[in-house]
Amino acid sequence: MKYKLIITIFLNLVFLNYSYSQEEERPIREYTLTIEKQAVNFTGKEVMGMTVNGSIPGPTLEFTEGEQAVIHVINKMEVETSVHWHGILLPNFQDGVPYLTTPPIKPGTTFTYEFPIKQSGTYWYHSHTMLQEQSGVFGSIVIQPKEKILDYDKELVLMLSDWTNEKPKDVMRTLKRGSEWYGIKKGTSTPLNQVISRGALGAQIDFWRQRMEGADIADIYYSAFLVNGKQLAEYPDFKPGEKVRLRIIDGSSSTQFWMTFGGETPLLVSADGLDVEPVKRNKTFIAIAETYDFIVTIPQSGKLEFRAMAQDGSGTALAYLGSGEILPAPLVEKPDKIAMMQEMAKMKMKMGAHAIKFQPKKDERYEMKEEYGMKMDGMEMDHSKMEMPKDSMKMDHSKMDHSKMNMPEDSPKMDHSKMDMNSEPRQMEGMGMNSEYTYDYLKSPEKTSYPKDIPVTEILLNLTGNMNRYIWSLNGVPLSETDNIKIKGNEVTRITLNNLTMMHHPMHLHGHFFRVINKNGEYSPLKHTVNVPPMEEVTIEFYGDAYGDWFFHCHVLYHMMGGMARVFSYETPRDPRMEEYPVSKIMNEANHFYTWGTADVASHMAELNLTSSNLRNQFNVMAEYGWNQNLEVEVTYERYLHDYLRIFGGVNVENETEDSLDEIETTAIAGIRYLTPYLFNLDVRIDSKLRPQIGLEREIMIFPRTLVFGMIEYQADFGLVDDLPTGIDYGDELTWNAGLEYFLSKNFSLMASYDNRFGAGGGMSIRF
């Protein structure tokens, strides 16, 4: 017991980094942050949010490099909370990921974060508990350098964010059920009539063949996009001719922006808190969790407009600096999703990599990349546009037999200690539709490459997702189904991020900066967050000099909560203060059950459908009743083997003819359900009377608010259990229906249908 106490005290000293506070006399900068639920109003509608010191966003925390930060966080809510210091290099215990690195802040308690300020620049903080970031728990951090280098007069933080009047959990439930409503609401859906009028039916069919509805850009309808908590923020006190450093932070939960400026072209001077070679740049893409600093000059007459347009064109946030007539910022054209579909179909891309696999522990990442990655059927790759130094790695993974390997997913594979590290990993130019998303304009003022004698370990991470069930993963494996990725200290870890989805993914690594390999080679920039465009590849690398376990995840909040995350582990002892906080709590956050339902009430029938689902398990209840006294009730449990295939079993209760409620029979059922190419739901089953049945169903949006749907089922009875009438070799039953649904709102629709059991009619569809 005595020795255990001594060891615990020693580890505490290590984790607390007492050397920073005792060996160096650091001035202390102290803040208190109070998190509580309050009514807020950004859109003319009062809803409940989560505020920091009474506001959204929270206050800006200002430090000077070399200080000691002491931040008291008071939780006045009835639920746990946390604060992560995004981009700050600090001891592992202070990082703020609950149950992984830092204890959660329980209701009614205070937690004090304390860490040395070892850097300067623009950063931010936010909750890492469930979906709280969306509700308002975030704010900015500004750290001044010990010595000012850049020339400017004043500075201003511009915190971008998105706001929904819905509860974030309801947003996630809507995404999980596969609703089309958000696209309808913001006008970014691509119904069939628009596809046909643009001559893109062939491209649409190709997407359907690969089990995709279309080219997705952003998932959610937002009530407002904000700058410092306002849809239009004005700063009239800046004087003509003043140089202002704009510290811009994308603190959104799910929105990336195109930024443009009125007046003179601004000078980009910093990315993710670190200085870059200054470059004049007006149109810049900012991904979620990134920060960019620009120096702008206030015009001699008029006020400068800053414009941030949501990536999908669904809204804009504005800020004005100065006074007088507006000097408008250039408008960015809204993306053309149908044209994107046509371009991708022309390239004959292969899409649809699994978000959940049949064997999560089997290492299939290279096969996955070979099948779905940059290889495009029928398209010759132009290698003349690849930057590939003559000394770069030449290993061809396509020749390796990975099928015989059964090792932990994501484990490091190659020891490059014998490689010539003067060479850089190859970087391919973006495709036409993604050419604006490269980081080639970012150049570090100093060399960032590592000495050639440092060993390098390579890791391939395919970014994978399923929009139909809203599951996101890495290498087809969500967070809850995988082990930690082991990081070796005193070595370089090089990660290839290969995006096999149609969405952008801003990937963030806690506690580290990494090199983003671009055309600037040895001067490639250092960042803490990197955007990976659709169907593209980005290479990052970092030197392993940290301690503990660190979170790595997509910073689209709903993608992270859908499973696109990993834990990078140096395999060092866990802080003893975390013993009572199981890591499984955060590992299983993406595996929660979500429940939803639909009720149809029409002139010819009524129907109820209930679903409760997590990653692998799903419970369904279906009940149909025709006013002609025709009844069917079915309760099933499904197990997803992978994205498209699940097995199921359950009970079916029905009467076989109308007006016969006294002839109800109950049978056990079992079978498979499969999402086929072209997005048909196939149901193949057999019941306890050994009657086989096959069914197909499909729905298609034909106009902006109108769906057409249909279902057909065929059942055969060979008399294997029940005797058939004399002279009949087998019996059969054909059931089908077809109809239209018109969306009035998120929760209500008008519907009309014909069912060969119930007849024709119409009524209301209610979603809950």
Mean pLDDT of 392-416: 39
The pLDDT > 70 percentage for the chain reads 88
pLDDT band at 729 (very low <50, low <70, confident <90, very high): confident
The DSSP bridge pattern shows strands 692-703 and 110-116 to be unpaired
- Which H or E run contains 398? none
In 645-658, which positions are buried (b, 16+ CB within 10 angstroms) versus exposed (e)?
ebebebebebbeee
Which value, to the nearest 10 degrees, does the dihedral of the CA atoms of residues 573, 577, 582, 583 take? Answer: -50
- Among 338, 342, 335, residue whose Cα is nearest residue 202: 342
**What is the structure's pLDDT at 622?**
97
pLDDT band at 379 (very low <50, low <70, confident <90, very high): very low
Amino acid 624 reads: E
- Among 56, 60, 57, 74, residue whose Cα is nearest residue 113: 74
Number of helices (H) and strands (E), helices first, in the chain? 11, 46
CA angle 358/360/363 to nearest 5° reads 110
Report the Cα 205 to chain-centroid distance in Å.
Answer: 26
Radius of gyration over every alpha carbon of the chain, rounded to an integer in angstroms: 28
- How does pLDDT run across 449-496, given as a tens digit for each residue? 999 999 999 999 999 999 999 999 999 999 999 999 999 999 999 999
Q: Phi/psi of residue 54, each to 5°?
A: 85, 5
Cα–Cα dist 585/568, whole Å: 17
- How does pLDDT run across 673-706, given as a tens digit for each residue? 999 999 999 999 999 999 999 999 999 999 999 9
Mean pLDDT of 25-51: 96
- Among 557, 514, 507, 567, residue whose Cα is nearest residue 533: 507
| Per-residue 3-state assignment (H helix, E strand, C coil) for 435-488 | HHHCCCCCCCCCCCCCCCCCCEEEEEEEEEEECCCCEEEECCECHHHCCCEECC
pLDDT band at 345 (very low <50, low <70, confident <90, very high): confident
The answer to whether residues 114 and 15 touch, using CB atoms and an 8 Å cutoff, is: no
The answer to whether residues 658 and 625 touch, using CB atoms and an 8 Å cutoff, is: no
The answer to whether residues 689 and 668 touch, using CB atoms and an 8 Å cutoff, is: no
- How does pLDDT run across 616-634, given as a tens digit for each residue? 999 999 999 999 888 999 9
Cα–Cα dist 567/668, whole Å: 43
